[in-house]
Structure 1
Amino acid sequence: MISAPIADGVIDVHAHWLPAELFHLPPGTPYGRMQDREGTLHLGDIPLSIPTRAMSDVAAILTDMRTTGVGVRVLSAPPFAFPVGGVAGAGSYVAAFNEALSGVVADAGGRLVGLGMVSLDDPAEARVQMEQLARTEGMAGIAVPPLVDGRSLDQGSLRRIVTDAEDLGLSVLVHPMQLPRPEWSEHYLSNLVGNPVETATAVAALLLGGVKEQLPRLRICFVHGGGCAPGLLGRWTHGWHTRADVRRDSTRPPDEVFGELFFDTVTHDPHLLRLLSAHASEGGVVCGSDHPFDMAQNDPVRFATDHGPAAEALTTNARAFLGL
């Protein structure tokens, strides 16, 4: 719930924060705990190429905002903190994160907004957590992965979670998890290829699964410019018109529903941002940064306004996503 005024300026809807006391990550995490090594953050033995304090230091976040011209930053957990292990005890981790984030947001004078976490393998528990978030000042919604147990937004627990989010008026940010696959084990391909593919899978599941048609009030945003989705939208639409199995669960073609979704500007490519802007609605593109990761858009406001909507439109669109 956001009833208090937020600060003026461009809103960055895609940034990450995790307090140091939760670096151990939720039970069953496939990655190993986060740890500091000589001031650099590691995920298990993998260097994340960012200073440790950048993930948890609110003062550093606010300094970066001033440097890059961001008026308001929306914080969510880094994706490897999502509780996808299916191990008992995740609810305690979720509660600790949501409480910590709400405290950070409350102390930021309207410059920070929060997207909480939910128990992804237990939709009933997730409903209770979302009801609490809906009552918590400064918390606008939730962040979720594109896939849980091999199923996306049109099936299983994720479908129940986004249904409850719409019912409670919560925003949903979909962030890929960089899932490992043998063919992506080298050259950081699990991120460079895997992340956009995960996101495109979720967009396709939402469109072709008829989810947005059945949940018209759902405010949902896909990061990294929708991943591969802008480049595949024409193919999906062609398939919808030519194959009965593609359109089995939806009544409107993908290119028609695409304009009802939100996408951030973290594309790293002006041409891709222009393509996204051409496919999305005027109100569907929002500024993102992916702070503080090495794959972040380092000057997010300038990149977004140079190659996408104007600052005023970006702010208006983000406020719509957040339900303001």
Structure 2
Amino acid sequence: MHIIKKAMEETKMSQGAGMARRWRSACGCVGIDVHCHVAPSQFPSPPGGGVVAGWPSMTPAEACHATVVIDQKPYRTISDACWVAERRIEEMDRAGIAVQALSPMPELFGYWIVVGAARDLVRHVNDVIADMVRHGGGRFVGFGGLPMQDLDLAIAELHRVVVELGFRGVEIGSNINGVPIGDPRFHPFFAEVERLGVAVFVHAVRPAGMDRLVGPAPLQQVLAYPSDVGFAVASVITGGLLAKFPELRIAFSHGGGTFASLLPRLEQGRQVFAAIGDSMPARPSEVARKLYVDGLVFDRDMLRRVVSVFGEDRVMIGTDYPFNFRESDPISRIAEAYDDEDLREALVFRNALNFLGLDEETCST
């Protein structure tokens, strides 16, 4: 345990120094974006050389793009900003972003892939992220993917990305093959995350309710993603996850999804239904303010609502870079919502420092 802590402290100091160098630079970038994705330029062949259901591949597309193919069907066409650090940094400078937390494109979680192959896939993606962090000049920190369908393998990869690769945290899905993350079966994982003191970022993946949508496939991202994230937040609160692991730093994408709308109903339901009240000793609104969320809601008034629900010290920049459906100017969105300079700074970078476990003094001296 001492060796793990020592390695993590050394990583913290080196990454903090890199951030400090960037913040002292002439461009004046200060934002920290906790919601950014990576996809490799290429994928290795499936282990064993055979066909593995769900294993991704990449085919060239026009200009600087490529198409991710899964089970012989095009999944998404993406730009080289997914894997070219220099391209990302140019766009970060234009948006005032000093640091991005790099995490896997959610479809690369591989929860639905046979276990051994899923481990190989996430290790490959994590190694790509680590290489980008190493060559990013202090502009990136890493969030690793994990094969969460097998907790022993997930915890092993958790140790690898934290201790060997120096990542600040991990990214997990809003559900693991349909099981909500607040389910007690994931407690051993969260216990180890809390023990290591690293962050968890929760992103929507393969959401429930797709059969209830009417319209084209992108409605999954537009409507179903926030619904699934809202259920994930609710599962953490109704399942008592933070009561069991009070030091856990866990954040949710897309402003916590629909949870801001669900919270008043949960508060009222706790008073009306004895079974709900008995299962939740603490008020849901109090527990919600122990969680972190990004501010990726595309609306000034909704951003204010998210801040009112989760707290001024718990909301961070999230953009979904480099995908087309993203927040392109998050700092202006915050400035539009708030005049108070201290609150703006909290939302732009201070809250993210706390979530990442990097103290402000280290990153500003």
- CA shift at 1:215, angstroms? 0.9
Unaligned runs of 5+ in 2: 1-7, 24-29, 359-365
Partner of 2:240: 210
Q: Would the aligned equivalents of 2:270 and 2:280 in 1 still touch at CA under 8 Å?
A: no
Distance 1:261 1:25 in 2: 37
Instruction: Flag the structure with larger Rg.
Output: 2
Q: Would the aligned equivalents of 2:316 and 2:348 in 1 still touch at CA under 8 Å?
A: yes
Match of 2:344 among 307, 310, 317: 310
More helix by share: 2
Partner of 2:130: 102
Q: Which amino acid aligns with 1:290?
A: D
Distance 2:145 2:277 in 1: 32
Partner of 2:97: 70
Distance 1:54 1:25 in 2: 25
Structure 2 SS opposite 1:240: helix
Q: Which amino acid aligns with 2:40?
A: P
Partner of 2:60: 36
Partner of 2:211: 182
Residues 1:83 and 1:48: Cα distance change in structure 2 (over 3 Å): closer
Residues 1:23 and 1:272: Cα distance change in structure 2 (over 3 Å): farther
- CA shift at 1:272, angstroms? 0.7
- CA shift at 1:253, angstroms? 1.6
Partner of 1:11: 32
In the TM superposition, 1:42-81 aligns within 5 A as 42-44=67-69, 45-46=73-74, 48=76, 50=78, 52-81=79-108
Residues 1:24 and 1:270: Cα distance change in structure 2 (over 3 Å): farther
Q: Would the aligned equivalents of 1:102 and 1:136 in 2 still touch at CA under 8 Å?
A: no
Number of positions where the alignment pairs a residue of Structure 1 with one of Structure 2 = 322
Deviates more, 1:145-154 or 1:1-10: 1-10
Partner of 1:278: 308
In the TM superposition, 1:125-204 aligns within 5 A as 125-136=153-164, 138-155=166-183, 158-179=186-207, 181-184=210-213, 186-187=215-216, 188-204=218-234
Q: Which amino acid aligns with 2:201?
A: L
Q: CA RMSD in A?
A: 2.3
Residues 1:113 and 1:254: Cα distance change in structure 2 (over 3 Å): same
Deviates more, 1:33-42 or 1:211-220: 33-42
Partner of 1:22: 43
Check if 1:225 corresponds to 2:255. yes
Q: Which amino acid aligns with 2:203?
A: H
Residues 1:38 and 1:263: Cα distance change in structure 2 (over 3 Å): same
Residues 1:156 and 1:37: Cα distance change in structure 2 (over 3 Å): farther
Deviation string, structure 1 residues 94-142 (Cα, Å, up to 9, x no partner): 2222222112112212110000111111101111111122213541010
Q: Would the aligned equivalents of 1:48 and 1:294 in 2 still touch at CA under 8 Å?
A: no
- CA shift at 1:86, angstroms? 4.2
**Structure 2-normalised TM-score?**
0.82
